[in-house]
Structure 1
Amino acid sequence: MVLLFAFLLVAAATAADPPVDLEEIESYLAQFAGYKKSENTLVASWETEEFNEAVKRFQREVGLEETGRLNEETLTLMKEDRCGITDGGDGDNSQDYQVWTSWFKYSPKRTLSYCITDYTKDLSPSTARRVISDAVRAWTRYGNLNIRYTSSRSCDLKMKWGVRNHGCFSPFDGRGRILAHAFYPTNGDVHFDDDEYWTDRSRSGKNLYYVSVHELGHALGIRHSRVRDSVMYPIYRSYNPNFKLHMDDINAIRKLYRKF
């Protein structure tokens, strides 16, 4: 009994230990899971209901078991590069894909335009345009809409590269972590962090095609998916020469822009 009691004391002490880089984790949860620090100073922040609920929201968004605890798998995913859009893990739990709204809700037109206002330093403008054109086609082949390129800055989907405070309310964070973000209809802006090293058909750097498909999904009204093989999963996946949309992605674009 004495040994058992001692073991339980050690286990309890271990469970109560603060997680590594607690301040960084709290900042991450505040940005991506709506965490607001409790005003109760008598309880360790990582043991509060607010903290545990934020962890659950993050776990829900990335398809993990909702324990509310910072287990190894949760901490590993928090360290991965990702999209800067915050969904907070809310939405209809009956399906994996989540949608916001379509451009059709606000306009009868069936053709959208896109433009690139500022290019990356890592790729030639012609390469960047080709990659983004391919990313556009990844979606239009499954939805009842057309998206065309224009050299005019007056377009529906405005794309650009920038660093840190790049002209919107959501600044980038330097190399790593947040790679890009986009805005839902009818804003349509897509921003890439140019502190990243952007590549085409390479396992080095950050694959522009994959990130472009993901962010265009947001610009067309698709939220994050909990399916890890979906391009709309919030965590970045490296270059795959055999990449194609998951059925979860296809269901989402068809939900918003169903072919008749």
Structure 2
Amino acid sequence: KYGYINDLIGTVETGASKIKSGLLRFQEYNGLDQTGVLDDATRELINQPRCGVSDIDPQKENKWNRKLLTYAIGSLPEELSFDARGVETQITQAFRNGADSYRGADIQIDFMKGRHGDGNAFDGPSGVWLTQTWALTRPRRPMRSYTQLYQVAVHEIGHSLGLGHSRDKSAIMAPMYKSWISSLRLGQDDILEVQRRYGPAKESEIDSQSKNEVKYDE
């Protein structure tokens, strides 16, 4: 599902050998000891909430060929404690977060659950959260829920701009989500990957450096 075993299908490797090869690739990608077995460290990482997009070459060099882009929120959460204005504010801020690198994206944003038409069903709370259609677990507190929405939105906007996952654990585009971030910043790897596709933003396009950081009090 995440690319570690897919390209081994149809090879002469046995099932057990393919699993070992997939584990070795997963461990190497994520900076773990390459044991080829499902040890405690590997199991812990596999069980972390993560993005549903494949880690191995999912996007290649996709990018938009124009700079005037739009987005729309197609549906809102039905069961979570979000209000429409709060969702809109966080999504808008997530787009602004990337202003130092590139402005906007032509995206439809939907909150869905389970099977949603792209062949990759969401697992539910603490499982696979998104595959460029955005979903969140039930928040414990409204402020934290908005913060988590903001983190997830920035990550998915990165995919919509053509970015794949990053091996840098501090990057927004790392496949595993951070549990909660009080101060969210684009990592250097995130910025470089966006600028490699679209070039750096002009100074006139950036209101202030604070667009790259948002802080929340609990």
For the criterion TM > 0.5, the same-fold answer is yes
Q: Which runs of 4+ in 1 moved over 4 A?
A: 35-40
Aligned to 2:73: 116
- The amino acid across from 2:91 in the alignment is I
- CA-CA distance at 1:256 after TM superposition: 1.1
Aligned to 2:208: none
2:166 is equivalent to residue 225 of structure 1: yes
- CA-CA distance at 1:176 after TM superposition: 2.1
Please tell me whether the aligned partners of residues 64 and 161 of structure 2 are also in contact (alpha carbons under 8 angstroms). yes
Q: Which runs of 5+ in 2 are unaligned?
A: 203-218
Show CA shifts across 1:139-158 (max 9, x none): 12223xx327xxxxxxx201
Does the residue aligned with 2:155 lie in a helix, a strand or coil?
helix
Aligned-pair Cα RMSD in Å: 2.8
Please tell me whether the aligned partners of residues 119 and 160 of structure 1 are also in contact (alpha carbons under 8 angstroms). yes
Question: Equivalents in 1 of 2:161, 2:168: separation in Å?
Answer: 19
- CA-CA distance at 1:221 after TM superposition: 0.6
Aligned to 2:5: 34
Aligned to 1:130: 89
Show CA shifts across 1:173-198 (max 9, x none): 2222111122xxxxxxxx1235x215
Aligned to 1:239: 180
Does the residue aligned with 2:150 lie in a helix, a strand or coil?
helix
More strand by share: 1
C-alpha distance 139-258 of structure 1, shift in aligned 2 (>3 A): same
State the TM-score, normalized to the length of structure 1: 0.67
Question: Equivalents in 1 of 2:163, 2:142: separation in Å?
Answer: 24
CA radius of gyration, larger in: 1
Aligned to 1:140: 99
Please tell me whether the aligned partners of residues 214 and 232 of structure 1 are also in contact (alpha carbons under 8 angstroms). yes
Question: Equivalents in 1 of 2:119, 2:60: separation in Å?
Answer: 23
- CA-CA distance at 1:111 after TM superposition: 1.2
Does the residue aligned with 2:108 lie in a helix, a strand or coil?
strand
Q: Which runs of 5+ in 1 are unaligned?
A: 1-29, 92-97, 149-155, 183-190
2:54 is equivalent to residue 86 of structure 1: yes
Question: Equivalents in 1 of 2:69, 2:11: separation in Å?
Answer: 47
- CA-CA distance at 1:71 after TM superposition: 2.3
Query: Which residue of 180, 188, 194 corresponds with 2:130?
Result: 180
Question: Equivalents in 1 of 2:88, 2:154: separation in Å?
Answer: 13
C-alpha distance 54-71 of structure 1, shift in aligned 2 (>3 A): same
**Within 5 A, what are the aligned runs for 1:137-216?**
137-143=96-102, 146-147=103-104, 156-182=106-132, 191-193=133-135, 196-198=137-139, 201-202=143-144, 207-216=148-157
Question: Equivalents in 2 of 1:62, 1:176: separation in Å?
Answer: 19
Question: Equivalents in 1 of 2:99, 2:60: separation in Å?
Answer: 16
Show CA shifts across 1:101-148 (max 9, x none): 2112xxxx21110001011132111110110111111112223xx327
Aligned residues: 196
Does the residue aligned with 1:256 lie in a helix, a strand or coil?
helix
Does the residue aligned with 1:243 lie in a helix, a strand or coil?
strand
Please tell me whether the aligned partners of residues 165 and 171 of structure 1 are also in contact (alpha carbons under 8 angstroms). yes
> Bigger CA drift: 55-64 or 224-233?
55-64
Question: Equivalents in 2 of 1:158, 1:241: separation in Å?
Answer: 27
**Within 5 A, what are the aligned runs for 1:54-69?**
54-69=22-37
Please tell me whether the aligned partners of residues 122 and 128 of structure 2 are also in contact (alpha carbons under 8 angstroms). yes
Aligned to 1:76: 44
- The amino acid across from 1:51 in the alignment is I
Question: Equivalents in 1 of 2:185, 2:122: separation in Å?
Answer: 28
Does the residue aligned with 2:72 lie in a helix, a strand or coil?
strand
